[in-house]
Each structure stands twice: as C-alpha cells, then as structure tokens.
Amino acid sequence: EDQVTQSPEALRLQEGESSSLNCSYTVSGLRGLFWYRQDPGKGPEFLFTLYSAGEEKEKERLKATLTKKESFLHITAPKPEDSATYLCAVQVSRNTDKLIFGTGTRLQVFP
Amino acid sequence: NAGVTQTPKFQVLKTGQSMTLQCAQDMNHNSMYWYRQDPGMGLRLIYYSASEGTTDKGEVPNGYNVSRLNKREFSLRLESAAPSQTSVYFCASSEVNQPQHFGDGTRLSIL
C-alpha cells in the first residue's frame, strides 16, 4: 500500500534556529514528490516538486531534497512568518493524476 | 487572478439535509479534484475529473456525488449529510504532471 509519513508532527523553533522536516514514502513507483505550505484557514500553497533522487530545489529560506526513500525540507534561519503547516505529497506512476498526502508538520517559529 | 474559488466558505447542516459545494477555476486547467481534510488524517481524495465530461472515484467517495459542469466548474454534492462528513473540503485544479492549485476550502459542520 502506498504510504506517506511526515515527522515530526509539530516543531517549535526559535527565530534563526535551523532545522529539517522529514517526509518518508513507500510507493510502487514515484513520479513526483510535492511540498506545500498551508496557513490556518487557507488552502495548501505549492512550494516545490522533486522528481528524482539527488534533486534539490530552493526558495528563500527553504530547501527541499529527495532520496529514494524520503525527502527533507530544510529551513535555514527561520522567521516567524515561516510558521505554517508543511505538507508532503507523492504522485505515483500508475495513476499520474492522484496525490497521496502526508498528515503534515506544524511549524511554529518564535521571535 | 482568482485561481480556484470555492463557495460557500462555511456551512452548517442538519443530518439528512443535502447540499452542493461549488468550485470554479480560471486557469484553464483540465483536471479538477475534491479533497476532504480531517485532523490527523491529511488530505484525502474524494473524486477527481481528468477532463471535462469525465469523473472518477478517489479514496473516500462514499456519500458523495460530483458533476463536472464544464471545464471551469466542478461541484460536490452531499445527498443526505451525516455527522461523519463534518470536515474541511478543498477543491484543486491542475494540468497533467503539474502542481495542483487549491482553493481556500469550505468548512462544513453537520449536526
């Protein structure tokens, strides 16, 4: 069964304290891995797509990486405005339209 | 640029009542999706439409029906609402192998 697991469930950081969020997956064939950010009361907002092991993408203080079993979202010197829930989703080869989502990591960054 | 628009934003129903959630996108995307988001469960796919005139079941379709009215609009209907359908419902749209873009959700409570 295809499965996506995110850890930790929640993370509290001091402003400037770098850390990483994990997304591990077991799927029959990975076509793409997506990272989204979700603010309270809003829909998920697209951040990155990764397609193959070794690939990296960066945007401001965020960097996403991918291996054959997991993806990391690295947050460097976070600011309070980075506080949000970060969602990971995988697109599997046998059905390219569907995404399987993890349950997310709720990040709080304190000044 | 509105993106994906969902109406209503909030709704309270009594058990057994029916209602339709509306979704419209202005990005000329072929694919559209309906998800529900529950605490600890992540986003789960209810139905999707790969193109105008086609619809397919997702992971949790029971109790729901959908209509792809045209390329822009994709509605979700609850024929006889049950308390288990209390959730936040998100609509999304995309092109094939492109990221899905989400609306801001409909918060539905069923008493």
Question: What's residue A28's pLDDT?
Answer: 82
The reply to whether residue A41 touches residue B43, judged by beta carbons under 8 angstroms, is no
> Which H or E run contains B109?
strand B106-110
**Of A41, A96, A102, which has the smallest distance from its Cβ to B42's Cβ?**
A102
Residue A29, pLDDT above cutoff 90: no
**Of A43, A49, A103, which has the smallest distance from its Cβ to B102's Cβ?**
A43
Residue B96, pLDDT above cutoff 90: no
Residue A55, pLDDT above cutoff 70: yes
**Of A4, A46, A103, which has the smallest distance from its Cβ to B99's Cβ?**
A46
**Of A36, A96, A103, which has the smallest distance from its Cβ to B96's Cβ?**
A96
Beta strands in A8-102 (DSSP E): 10-14, 19-26, 30-38, 45-50, 56-59, 62-66, 70-75, 84-92, 99-101
Question: What value does the mean pLDDT take over residues A75-80?
Answer: 97
Chain B hits for A4, Cβ within 8 Å: 42
Nearest by Cα to B78 from B21, B1, B7, B12: B21
Q: How many Cα atoms are found within 13 Å in the side-chain-facing hemisphere of A88? A: 26
Q: Which residue of B has its CA nearest to A42?
A: B104
The reply to whether residue B48 touches residue A97, judged by beta carbons under 8 angstroms, is yes
Asked if B74 is an interface residue toward chain A (Cβ–Cβ < 8 A), one would say: no
Tokens of B83: 């308390």
Question: What's residue A94's pLDDT?
Answer: 62
Rounded Cα distance, A69 and A99, in Å: 17
The reply to whether residue B97 touches residue A96, judged by beta carbons under 8 angstroms, is yes
The reply to whether residue A49 touches residue B4, judged by beta carbons under 8 angstroms, is no
> Which H or E run contains A6?
strand A3-7
Question: What's residue A26's pLDDT?
Answer: 93
Question: What's residue A103's pLDDT?
Answer: 96
Q: Which residue has the tokens 């995307």?
A: B29
Question: What value does the mean pLDDT take over residues B54-77?
Answer: 95
Interface test with B, best of A52, A91, A97, A105 (most B CBs within 10 A): A97
Residue A110, pLDDT above cutoff 70: yes
Burial class of residue B72 in the structure, from the number of CB atoms within 10 Å of its CB (0-12 exposed, 13-18 middle, 19+ buried): middle
> Which H or E run contains B88?
strand B87-94
Percent of chain A at pLDDT exceeding 70: 96
The reply to whether residue A43 touches residue B50, judged by beta carbons under 8 angstroms, is no
Residue B41, pLDDT above cutoff 90: no
Helices H, strands E: what count in chain B? 0, 11
Residue A73, pLDDT above cutoff 80: yes
Q: Report the greatest alpha carbon distance in chain B.
A: 39
Residue A99, pLDDT above cutoff 80: yes
Asked if A23 is an interface residue toward chain B (Cβ–Cβ < 8 A), one would say: no
> Which H or E run contains A3?
strand A3-7
**CA dihedral of residues B34, B38, B44, B50 (deg, nearest 10):** 10
